[in-house]
Structure 1
């Protein structure tokens, strides 16, 4: 299976760590969508200001383009994809994309975000991300996994669920 996956969730959920671990295990290319943000978006978030939808549309277009570009062994992109309309925008370019929503309990999430010094996304924006998050809906190709138990356990659970999805042709 050539994966076309978006590992999604709020900041601190583990998107980059889990996405990179999945890509390594599956032999796929890993892309952190943070690297696709225009500089203006990075500066806005670094200043503690949440992005607007208008700020996000060009970035989401780049995420979709990356997912639909030629990756011989598949691609896994870490991307917040917090709202359904954002995921729909990504799917418009990459209809084969499957979303993997990462969940984590609030105390651990806050701890993780606080331990990321130098990241352009300050802890102050966590609450706006939690308010924005629209969980995957039943008609969206994807699955939801807790990251409470760490990267390896989360990666194993995702791989197991993906194999089950394949077995049932979903």
Structure 2
């Protein structure tokens, strides 16, 4: 995702095999937890490049065709870290990257709306996936104790929201970020 040439080649292959892309979900992200003062340039660039440059590259490749066809759905995965400043699982670079994805979602949604292309984001909280890495189970339990619904979310719950945003029922929703965090962060 971070290499525009690779994105273009992959998209060309998808177009050839399956036809035009109607739905794009930008779900890539990496974390490297740590204190801001300890983040080195390589870690910062890797985390930001995957989330931000990857999302930009994918959208720049897919949006023109979606707009020409006057149809398309884009869902970008951001994070509760974009709203609460990160924390034990993501770090400042992850929060900054996912905040950028949220802002990018709003900006691109304005450019695409007139052409029938919606661009939205989903902001998961603590979801039971491998992205947590090797985090101490006691720390996870502590975070879960602060989630009003009392548990981590599931990948299926996130996927259901993404699927909704990709469907016809969500045709009037664009530029939105939907929180999936069990009440961990309330707006």
TM range, smaller chain: 0.3 to 0.5
- Normalised to the residue count of structure 1, the TM-score between the two structures is 0.41
Q: Which one has the largest radius of gyration?
A: 2
> Which of the pair is proportionally richer in helix?
2
